[in-house]
C-alpha cells in the first residue's frame, strides 16, 4: 500500500468556460470561444460549442454533491472573466457575483478546499477586438478584474491561480491555430506571452495587497523536454524546447527573471517584446507562492533535420523537431504518449532548480474517445483510467519520499467536460455526462477515487 502525506489533497480540476454553459438572461458576455464558434462552428468537434457545456451553471448544487460522492477534498475551477465583467473592463454582472459566491460557498460547506483560477484561455471578446493580449491595456484590464475577484471572493477561496497553462494560448493562438485569433505571428505571440506574465505578476501583487496571508500561484504545463539521444545536438534541441515551452513562464513566475538564453534567442530573431521601465522589477518582486503543474504527456524532441527557410515565419521549431520514440506507451484513444516517469522528473526539477517550491499536480488524466463502448452493468468500467492514475501516483509518491514538496493531486476532470475545438470528443471525467439528457453517472474510476481519497493511498 502506498500512503501519501497527511492532509494530501485529492480532487479534480475544471474551468468555467468548459463546464458552466450559458443560460438566456445570465448576462454573460462573449469571450473569444463564443465568438469563434459563432463564425466558424465547423471547427468544433461535432459542432458543439461553448454554450452547450455541462450545465454547471444550473446544476451546480447537485454537481457539488457529486464531488463529495467521489471523495473530493479539493476542487479547482475558474471564474469566467466574461461572466463577471461582460465587456472585460466595465460594469460588473451581479448575477455572476451571486453565482460564484453560491458555488464557492457550496464547496466550502462541503468541507472541500477551493482553488480558483482567474483565467482559463477565455478572453472577453470586446478586449480581443481591441487587440487582446498584444495590447498593454489588456494587462491593465486583467489587473482590475483580478483585484475585483480578490475583493469579492477572497473570504471563500483557499488558493488563487493567476493563469492556466499561459503558454498554450500563445502557441495555439499565434503559431498553431487552435485558439482564436489563430494567426501565425511570432512577434505578437512573444508580446502576448510577455504581457500574460506581467499580468500574472500584477495579480500576485494585488492578491497579497488584499490579503498578505493568501497563497496565489500559476498553473503551468510542465512537461520536461526529453532529447532523442545524448548527441550534443539533440541535447541542445531539448534545452531550447524547454526554454520556450516551460521556462518562459516558470522562471519569471518562480525566480522572478527570464532565462538569459531565451532572451538571447529572441533578440537574435528580433522578437524581444515591448516593455516599460519597472516591469522587470515588478516581475522580480512578485513571484508566486506555489505552483500548479499540469502533466499529460512528455515532450520528446530531436535536433532539427532541416534548416528553416529564410523567408518562412519564425516558429520555435526552428530549434527542434518533435520526436516519436519507438516503443513508447500510448493512450490510443487520445493519441498521446503515456510516460509516468515524467511526474518524477518534474518533481525533481522543481526540487533541484526551483527552490523546492510548494506545488500541486493540478491536472493529469486520460482522455478517451468513444468511451461509451466500455459501459457494462449501467456504468463505464474505466479500468484504464484507474491504471493511468495509479501509474502516475506511484512516481509522485516516490518523488515525495525523496523530498518533493507536492501537496495534492487533482485529476482532470470530475464530470466529462467541453474541451475547446475538441468539444466532447475526449472524455476525462470520473463521472460520465450524457450530452442529450445531461444525466451524470459515476464511472468505476469515480468510486475508486473515493476509496483512494479515504485511504489516502492505494
Residue 164 or 248: the one with the smaller Cβ distance to ligand BGP is 164
Minimal distance in Å, beta carbon 166 to ligand BGP? 11
Q: Which of 186, 204, 319 is nearest to 252 (CA)?
A: 204
For the residues of 433-449, what is the DSSP string, one character each?
Answer: E-TTT--EEE-HHHHHH
For residue 244, give the DSSP letter: I
The nearest distance, CB 420 to ligand BGP, in angstroms, is 6
Is 164 near ligand BGP (CB under 6 A)? yes
Which of 165, 279 has the CB closer to ligand BGP? 165
The residue range among 154-162, 387-395, 420-428, 434-442 that interacts with ligand BGP, by the rule CB under 6 A, is 420-428
Q: Residue 206: CB partners within 8 Å, gap ≥ 6?
A: 143, 146, 147, 150
Considering the complex, what minimum distance in angstroms separates the CB of residue 184 from ligand BGP? 21
Contact stretch for ligand BGP (CB under 6 A) within 56-64, 387-395, 414-422, 439-447:
414-422
Binding test (CB under 6 A) with ligand BGP, winner from 388, 412, 414, 448:
412
Cα–Cα distance, 107 to 73 (Å, whole number)? 10
Cell digits of residue 75: 476542487
**Residue 416 near residue 429, CB atoms below 8 Å:** yes
Is 405 among the residues that bind ligand BGP (CB under 6 A)? no
The residue among 63 and 171 lying less far from ligand BGP, judged by its C-beta, is 171
> Taking CA 285 as the corner, what is the angle to CA 410 and CA 204, rounded to the nearest 5 degrees?
40
Of the listed pieces 187-195, 204-212, 238-246, 417-425, which binds ligand BGP according to CB under 6 A?
A: 417-425
CA distance 73 to 443: 19
Q: Cβ 413 to ligand BGP, closest distance in Å? A: 7
Q: What count of Cα atoms within 13 Å lies in the side-chain half-sphere of residue 412?
A: 24
Q: Which residue is nearest to ligand BGP (CB)?
A: 419
- The yes or no reply on residue 31 touching ligand BGP (CB under 6 A) is no
Rounded to the nearest whole angstrom, what is the least distance from the CB of residue 95 to ligand BGP in the complex? 24
- Check 165, 242, 340, 395 and give the catalytic one: 165
Q: Which residues pair with 116 in a beta bridge?
A: 77, 160
Please identify, using beta-carbon distances, which residue of 130 and 422 lies nearer to ligand BGP.
Answer: 422
Q: Is 107 helix (H, G, I), strand (E, B) or coil?
A: helix
Burial class for 307, CB neighbours closer than 10 Å (0-12, 13-18, 19+): exposed
Shortest distance in whole angstroms from residue 334 CB to ligand BGP = 6
| Whole-number CA gyration radius for the chain | 21
- Please list every residue from 192 through 221 that binds ligand BGP, using CB under 6 A: 221
Nearest to 444 by CA among 402, 370, 386: 386
Alpha-carbon distance 34 to 44, whole Å? Answer: 11
Q: Is 162 in the site for ligand BGP (CB under 6 A)?
A: no
DSSP string for 179-226: STT----HHHHHHHHHHHHHHHHHHHHHHHHH-TT-EEEEEEE-PPEE
- Per-residue binding string, ligand BGP, 268-307, x by CB under 6 A, is --------------------------x-------------
Q: Does 422 bind ligand BGP (CB under 6 A)?
A: yes
Instruction: Report the alpha-carbon distance of residue 169 to residue 90 in Å, rounded.
Output: 24
Q: Which residues in 5-24 contact ligand BGP (CB under 6 A)?
A: 15, 18
Q: Which stretch binds ligand BGP (CB under 6 A): 53-61, 140-148, 238-246, 418-426?
A: 418-426
Nearest-5° Cα angle at 359, 211 to 61:
70
Of 298, 342, 305, which is closest to residue 321 (Cα–Cα)? Answer: 305
Number of shown-chain residues binding ligand BGP (CB under 6 A): 14
14: which 3 cell numbers? 475544471
Q: 337 or 363, CB closer to ligand BGP?
A: 363
Which of 113, 128, 242, 363 is catalytic? The answer is 363
Q: Is 426 a residue that touches ligand BGP (CB under 6 A)?
A: yes
- Least CB distance to ligand BGP at residue 422 (A): 4
Q: Is 374 helix (H, G, I), strand (E, B) or coil?
A: helix
Q: Which is nearer to ligand BGP, 234 or 242 (CB)?
A: 242
Of 117, 101, 84, nearest to 13 by C-alpha is: 117
Contact call for residue 249 and ligand BGP (CB under 6 A): no
Q: Which stretch binds ligand BGP (CB under 6 A): 62-70, 313-321, 415-423, 429-437?
A: 415-423
Supply the minimum distance, in Å, between the C-beta of residue 269 and ligand BGP: 27
Nearest approach in angstroms of CB 325 to ligand BGP is 20
165 counts as binding ligand BGP under rule CB under 6 A: yes
According to DSSP, residue 347 is labeled H
Nearest CA to 215 out of 401, 382, 359 is that of 359
171 is catalytic: no
165 is catalytic: yes
Length of the chain: 458
Q: Name the residues annotated as catalytic.
A: 165, 363
Applying CB under 6 A, the residues found at the interface with ligand BGP are 15, 18, 164-165, 221, 294, 334, 363, 367, 412, 419-420, 422, 426
Amino acid at each position: 500500500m502506498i500512503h501519501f502525506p497527511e492532509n494530501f489533497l485529492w480532487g479534480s480540476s475544471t474551468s468555467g468556460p468548459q463546464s458552466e454553459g450559458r443560460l438566456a438572461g445570465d448576462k454573460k458576455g462573449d469571450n473569444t470561444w463564443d465568438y469563434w464558434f459563432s463564425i466558424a462552428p465547423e471547427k468544433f468537434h461535432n459542432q458543439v460549442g461553448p454554450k452547450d457545456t455541462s450545465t454547471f451553471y444550473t446544476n451546480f448544487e447537485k454537481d457539488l454533491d457529486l464531488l463529495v460522492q467521489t471523495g473530493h477534498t479539493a476542487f479547482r475551477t475558474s471564474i469566467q472573466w466574461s461572466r463577471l465583467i461582460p465587456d472585460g473592463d466595465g460594469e460588473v454582472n451581479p448575477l455572476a457575483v451571486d453565482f460564484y459566491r453560491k458555488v464557492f460557498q457550496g464547496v466550502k460547506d462541503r468541507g472541500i478546499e477551493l482553488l480558483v483560477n482567474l483565467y482559463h484561455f477565455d478572453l472577453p471578446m470586446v478586449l480581443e477586438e481591441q487587440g487582446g493580449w498584444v495590447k498593454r491595456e489588456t494587462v491593465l484590464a486583467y489587473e482590475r478584474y483580478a483585484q475585483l475577484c480578490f475583493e469579492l471572493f477572497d473570504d471563500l477561496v483557499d488558493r488563487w491561480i493567476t493563469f492556466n497553462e499561459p503558454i498554450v494560448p500563445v502557441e495555439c493562438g499565434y503559431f498553431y491555430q487552435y485558439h482564436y485569433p489563430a494567426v501565425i505571428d511570432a512577434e505578437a505571440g512573444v508580446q502576448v506571452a510577455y504581457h500574460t506574465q506581467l499580468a500574472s505578476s500584477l495579480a500576485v501583487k494585488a492578491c497579497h495587497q488584499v490579503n498578505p496571508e493568501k497563497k496565489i500561484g500559476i498553473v503551468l504545463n510542465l512537461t520536461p523536454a526529453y532529447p532523442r539521444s545524448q548527441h550534443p545536438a539533440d541535447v541542445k534541441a531539448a534545452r531550447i524546447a524547454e526554454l520556450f515551452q516551460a521556462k518562459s513562464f516558470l522562471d519569471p513566475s518562480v525566480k522572478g527573471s527570464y532565462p538569459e538564453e531565451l532572451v538571447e534567442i529572441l533578440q537574435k530573431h528580433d522578437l524581444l517584446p515591448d516593455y516599460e521601465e519597472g516591469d522587470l522589477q515588478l516581475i522580480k518582486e512578485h513571484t508566486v507562492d506555489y505552483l500548479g503543474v499540469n502533466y499529460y504527456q512528455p515532450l520528446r524532441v530531436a535536433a532539427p533535420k532541416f534548416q528553416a527557410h529564410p523567408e518562412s515565419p519564425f516558429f520555435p521549431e526552428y530549434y527542434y523537431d518533435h520526436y516519436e520514440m519507438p516503443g513508447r506507451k500510448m493512450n490510443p484513444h487520445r493519441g498521446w504518449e503515456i510516460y509516468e516517469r515524467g511526474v518524477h522528473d518534474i518533481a525533481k526539477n522543481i526540487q533541484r532548480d526551483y527552490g523546492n517550491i510548494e506545488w500541486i499536480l493540478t491536472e493529469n488524466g486520460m482522455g478517451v474517445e468513444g468511451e461509451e463502448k466500455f459501459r457494462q452493468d449501467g456504468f463505464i468500467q474505466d479500468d484504464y483510467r484507474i491504471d493511468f492514475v495509479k501509474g502516475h501516483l506511484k512516481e509522485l509518491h516516490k518523488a515525495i519520499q525523496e523530498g518533493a514538496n507536492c501537496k495534492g493531486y487533482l485529476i482532470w476532470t470530475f464530470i466529462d467536460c467541453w474541451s475547446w475545438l475538441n468539444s466532447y470528443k475526449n472524455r476525462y471525467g470520473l463521472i460520465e455526462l450524457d450530452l442529450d439528457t445531461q444525466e451524470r453517472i459515476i464511472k468505476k474510476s469515480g468510486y475508486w477515487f473515493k476509496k483512494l481519497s479515504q485511504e489516502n493511498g492505494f
